[in-house]
């Protein structure tokens, strides 16, 4: 489905509800996906979001190396891929391939977006403070896009665009209260 551009400041509304996201980082054959539940808007002017990534994670090194990442927002229909990308390591092969996902070019950064996700927020790292056992990568939003039916200035929670919220372990919930269990 075609996507339309979203102003970077408006893109913060894609995350205010706290969904589980799929972050892409790395360029070319190194492109990787990590599933994260720790994301947050951190600034309106300039528009910025933060993601927490543990240093041992493969994607941590890719973000540190390239200085960019993309937050891809999946629907609940992608639960299997979300779970897989949170459990497998990109050091052992392409998660795009193993999860059955499609890489598509980004607008403002070199890493790729996940075509099956309904929204994307492209970022360049502005700072990366250490927060306990994680690095908090703060990214300035350089471009964003969302399927028109999913975002009209506000995230729309129709059946097709139910986001996933990680409850812990294999348990997730949608904003409508539908509890989902990932296959372990």
CATH number at residue 113: 2.30.110.10
pLDDT of residue 15: 54
Model confidence at 64, in pLDDT bands (50, 70, 90)? very high
pTM of the predicted model as reported, rounded to 2 decimal places = 0.91
pLDDT at 159 over 80: yes
Q: Of all residues in the chain, what percent carry a pLDDT higher than 70?
A: 97
Which phi and psi angles does 134 have, rounded to 5°? -125, 160
**1-15, 40-54, 61-75, 76-90: lowest mean pLDDT where?**
1-15
Domain count for the chain, please give it. 1
Ramachandran region, residue 30 (left: φ > 0; alpha: ψ -120 to 50; beta: rest): alpha
Whether the predicted pLDDT of 116 surpasses 70? yes
Q: Which two tokens mark 12?
A: 């913060």
Using DSSP's 3-state secondary structure scheme, residue 99 falls into helix
Q: What is the pLDDT of residue 13?
A: 58
What pLDDT sits at residue 12? Answer: 61
> What's the whole-number mean pLDDT along residues 6-25?
79
**Structure tokens belonging to residue 83:** 């779970």
The per-residue pLDDT for 168 is 83
Domain containing 106 equals 3-181
Assign residue 100 a region: left if phi > 0, alpha if psi is -120 to 50, beta otherwise? Answer: left
């Amino acid at each position: 489905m075609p996507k339309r551009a979203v102003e970077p400041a408006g893109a913060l509304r894609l995350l205010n509800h706290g969904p589980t996201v799929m972050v892409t980082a790395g360029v070319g054959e190194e492109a990787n996906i990590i599933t994260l539940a720790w994301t947050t808007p951190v600034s309106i002017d300039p528009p910025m979001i933060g993601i927490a990534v543990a240093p041992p994670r493969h994607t941590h090194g890719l973000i540190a190396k390239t200085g960019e990442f993309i937050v891809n927002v999946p629907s609940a229909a992608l639960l299997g891929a979300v779970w897989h990308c949170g459990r497998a390591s990109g050091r052992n092969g392409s998660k795009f391939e193993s999860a059955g996902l499609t890489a598509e070019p980004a607008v403002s950064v070199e890493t790729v977006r996940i075509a099956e996700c309904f929204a994307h927020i492209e970022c360049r790292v502005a700072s990366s403070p250490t927060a306990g056992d994680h690095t908090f990568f703060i990214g300035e939003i350089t471009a964003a896009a969302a399927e028109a039916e999913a975002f009209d200035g506000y995230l729309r929670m129709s059946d097709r665009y139910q986001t996933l919220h990680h409850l812990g372990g294999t348990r997730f919930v949608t904003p409508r209260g539908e509890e989902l269990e990932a296959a372990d």
